Amino acid sequence: MKKILVIDDEESISQSLKRLLSKRGWHAEAFQNPVAALNLLQRERFDIVLTDFRMPNVDGLEMIERIREIQPEARIILMTAFSSIPNAVEAMKRGASEYIPKPFEFEELEARLGVIGPSTSQSVSSPSKKTVVDMLGTSLPMQRLRERIRKAAKSNATVLIEGESGTGKELVARLLHQESSLSSKPFLAVNMAAIPDSLIESEFFGYKKGAFTGADSDQDGKFVAADGGTLFLDEIGEMPIQFQPKILRVLQEGVVTPVGSNKTHKVQVRIVAATNRDLSQMVHEGTFREDLFFRLNILDIKVPPLRERREDIPELVTHFIEKHATEPMQVPQDFLDILSAYHWPGNVRELENIIHRCVVLGDTNVMDKLDLPRHISGLEPTKDTPMAEIAYRALKEGMSLYDLEKDIILKAIEESEGNKTTAARILKITRRKLYSRLEKHGIDL
């Protein structure tokens, strides 16, 4: 079993990632304390280390160096909010294998893990239970979607997947790859919106040693990494127009030129792109090249929004409960009726988040409609819990956000009997953030 170590001072992040990774078959460990994590690395070998860049009293670059010294064979993925090329290049220089910008969806991390394998720089994505399960649904729109995927999988032509945010476009891309003749080859997912403009060319085409400050060795780009397989370009509408001719050239000629080199490299990659935007309208507005649009849109797949397949909601709810709950839970019909009546602008992703919320808030093994957000349930807040009582009073009395936050913090302190760690856990924030808010409101403990 592959081993992965998660290091993040935010307990909610580290523990959530540990749980989700464990459910995907990883042997996962998680630490909020970087020193404790380094001590574990001295004793146990890990295939991958997933670490935050900014943590209290620890320099992110020094942390990478220490991990690399202790376990030179481990792959290091950096979770970071930085986006400038000096920081990115310096992180790679110190030993990071990849970075993922915060905030990110778990599916995006899974895509990175599918590329950065435990022993090689690239690994082949194999058919996974998640991909098949998340395509659950027996509605007519889903039957049509599966048939469209089946037909598109017979060809290696480029595919454009269109659909609203949260509909599962990457899952469609993965299933398309798995059912194609390229299924034994790499599947590499790239989110265009997550790559800074200054890094796009080097990310896709790679670079030669000395191409820019910090480029101390040759580095392959995404096209070479995905050679022979599928390269999935998510949010293709976010691609800068000045970079689009270079992508078009790869599609037309099948060659890439690394930054700092005048030599081309042949690549054979199937491009699958996805967007939640109207690319034809962008072409009309001059923000997306018409020739690239036609090249990408040889085959098209439209992913239906959840509101057009409401009959699939019960099956999806059952799946998400199994994913997030530690024990079986009952789902009353009135709970399902509320979900079925909602319009789901965030689609399947929003549904999963809501089910996760209800699992966490629930006190019994029965899903409770009172745990649903008010904008979904349409119900008045109950006064059964102290926190809900405060929120109810705030709504009725027009309390300011400042006073509401102070009351909630005081109630958490009261419920925790003055224990700051427990209070922070109740509020689902870090101790550091709790101290900051205590100071902000002049609360002296």
At residue 165 the predicted structure's pLDDT band, cuts being 50, 70 and 90, is: confident
Share of the chain above pLDDT 90, in %: 37
Contacts of 38 (CB under 8 A, 6+ apart): 66, 67, 70
Q: Which of 93-102, 302-311, 342-351 is predicted least confidently?
A: 93-102
Tell me, what's the pLDDT at 327? 86
In 147-242, the DSSP E strands lie at 159-162, 187-191, 230-234
Tell me, what's the pLDDT at 393? 56
Judged against a pLDDT cut of 70, whether residue 121 lies above it is answered with no
Judged against a pLDDT cut of 70, whether residue 383 lies above it is answered with no
At residue 429 the predicted structure's pLDDT band, cuts being 50, 70 and 90, is: confident
The C-alpha atoms of residue 266 and residue 269 are separated, in whole angstroms, by 10
The C-alpha atoms of residue 147 and residue 131 are separated, in whole angstroms, by 16
More confident site: 411 or 372: 372
Q: Which of 4-18, 94-108, 255-269, 359-373 is predicted least confidently?
A: 94-108
At residue 428 the predicted structure's pLDDT band, cuts being 50, 70 and 90, is: confident
Judged against a pLDDT cut of 60, whether residue 394 lies above it is answered with no
Tell me, what's the pLDDT at 299? 97
Q: Which helix (H) or strand (E) holds 269?
A: none
Mean pLDDT of 424-436: 78
At residue 6 the predicted structure's pLDDT band, cuts being 50, 70 and 90, is: very high
Tell me, what's the pLDDT at 361? 80
Judged against a pLDDT cut of 90, whether residue 79 lies above it is answered with no
Nearest CA among 179, 170, 183, 181 for reference residue 107: 170
Nearest CA among 337, 405, 329, 388 for reference residue 363: 329
Mean pLDDT of 272-296: 96
Mean pLDDT of 318-325: 88
DSSP classification of residue 219: B
Helix (H, G, I), strand (E, B) or coil at 330: strand
Largest CA distance in the chain: 70
Judged against a pLDDT cut of 80, whether residue 203 lies above it is answered with yes
Judged against a pLDDT cut of 50, whether residue 116 lies above it is answered with no
* Number of other residues whose CB lies within 10 A of the CB of residue 59: 13
DSSP classification of residue 57: T
Judged against a pLDDT cut of 90, whether residue 13 lies above it is answered with no
Helix (H, G, I), strand (E, B) or coil at 363: coil
At residue 291 the predicted structure's pLDDT band, cuts being 50, 70 and 90, is: very high
Tell me, what's the pLDDT at 386? 55
Tell me, what's the pLDDT at 379? 60
Ordered structural domains, the chain, with CATH = 1-119 (3.40.50.2300), 124-304 (3.40.50.300), 307-377 (1.10.8.60), 386-440 (1.10.10.60)
Helix (H, G, I), strand (E, B) or coil at 445: coil
Judged against a pLDDT cut of 50, whether residue 439 lies above it is answered with yes
Average pLDDT over the chain, rounded to whole?
83
